[in-house]
Amino acid sequence: MTTKFTPDHEYIRVEGATGIVGITPYAQDALGDIVFVELPSVGKVLKKGDEAAVVESVKAASEIYAPVAGTVTEVNDALTGNPGLINSDPENEGWIYKIAIADAGEIDGLLDDAAYADLTK
């Protein structure tokens, strides 16, 4: 199991051909209290960098981009009733959607732990 990151502070946890996408602890802290999440539709086809979801804090809306190309297979419906899960547990219960990865090669182009840690130092 590998987790990779984008410079826009999304993570993708790769489990076989599926990626679980959310925002990093750094991102949730920067955004503050999340009050609303707009989830993608299951079946939506995304190119790398497409807007996949929107998270809203008290102050502002922020787009969440697709780290890699693929098709949305599942969304975290728990966020509809409890968007604060992104604040309390961004990497586990606060995941946003799952994607069937179209091209595993795109994963290699993302940041690894060390590179992402450098970016947010």
In the complex, least distance from residue 89 CB atom to another protein, rounded to whole angstroms: 16
Are the C-beta atoms of 61 and 118 separated by less than 8 Å?
Answer: no
In the complex, least distance from residue 15 CB atom to another protein, rounded to whole angstroms: 30
Are the C-beta atoms of 58 and 91 separated by less than 8 Å?
Answer: no
CA-closest candidate to residue 80, choices 40, 51, 49: 40
User: b/e string for 64-78 if b means 16 or more Cβ within 10 A?
Assistant: bbbbbbbebeebbee
Residues in 69-108 that interact with another protein by CB under 8 A? none
Sole binder of another protein in the list 17, 42, 61, 104 (CB under 8 A): 61
Residues in 30-59 that interact with another protein by CB under 8 A? 32-33, 35-36, 38, 54, 56-59
Size of the site for another protein (CB under 8 A): 12
| Interacting residues toward another protein by CB under 8 A | 32-33, 35-36, 38, 54, 56-61
